[in-house]
A and B are shown apart, each in its own frame.
Chain A
Amino acid sequence: MTHDDGLPNDPEGIRLMIHALVDGELDAAAALAVERRIAADPRLAAEHARIVALQGAVSRLPRPDVSDAFRARIAAIGMAGTERQASVEAEPQRGTPPTLPGLIAGAGGGQRRGAGTRPSQARPSQRTRRFGSFDWRAMAASIMISAVLASGATQWMIQSGVDDGFAAAVASGHRRSLLAASPIDIVSSDRHTVKPWLDARIGVSPPAPDLVQDGYALIGGRVEVISGRPVPALVYRHREHLITLVAEPQQGGKTTQPDDLSSGGFSMVHWSDGAFSYWAISDMERPELDDFVARFRKAAV
Chain B
Amino acid sequence: MSERALAERFNEVVLPHLGDALALARWLTGNAADAEDVVQDACIKAHAGISGYAGGNARAWLLTIVRNTSYTWMARNRPRAMMAVGDLGDLDDMAAAHGTSMPDEDGPEASLIAKADSAALEAAIAALQQPFRETLVLRDINGLSYREISAMLAVPIGTVMSRLARARGLLASELGRAS
Contacts and interface: CB of A to CB of B under 8 A. Distances in A.
A and B, one complex?
Answer: yes
Interface of A: 11-12, 15-16, 19-20, 23, 25, 43, 46-47, 49-64, 66, 70-71, 73-75, 77-82, 84-85, 90, 93-94, 97-100, 103-104, 107, 124, 126, 128-131, 133, 135-136, 139-140, 143, 158-159, 162, 199, 203-207, 227, 229, 249-254, 274-276
Contacts of B43: 74, 77
Given A16-B100, A52-B110, A250-B151, 5 more contacts: A20-B146, A23-B145, A77-B10, A77-B44, A99-B48
Interface in B143-170: 143, 145-148, 150-152, 154, 156-158, 161-162, 164-165, 168
Nearest to B60: A251
Given A12-B99, A54-B168, A130-B19, A98 B110 contact: no
Q: A-side binding surface: helix, strand, loop or mixed?
A: helix
Contacts of B158: 16, 159, 162
Contacts of B122: 61
* Most chain B Cβ neighbours within 10 Å, of A93, A107, A140: A93
Contacts of B23: 63-64
8 contacts: A12-B99, A46-B104, A50-B108, A59-B141, A61-B118, A70-B39, A71-B18, A90-B2
* Most chain B Cβ neighbours within 10 Å, of A207, A250, A276: A250
Contact of A251 (B19, B35, B40, B64): B64
Interface string B93-132: 0001001110010011111011010100110010000000
A71 B44 contact: no
Contacts of B113: 50, 53-54, 57
A210 to B, nearest CB: 18
Interface of B: 1-4, 6-7, 10-11, 14-20, 22-23, 26, 32, 35-36, 39-40, 43-44, 47-49, 51-57, 59-61, 64-65, 68, 96, 99-101, 104, 107-111, 113-114, 116, 118, 121-122, 125, 136, 139-143, 145-148, 150-152, 154, 156-158, 161-162, 164-165, 168, 171-172, 175
A139 B49 CA distance: 26
Contact of B2 (A71, A73, A93, A205): A93
Contacts of B151: 250-253
Contacts of B157: 158-159, 162
Contact of A136 (B49, B125, B143, B152): B143
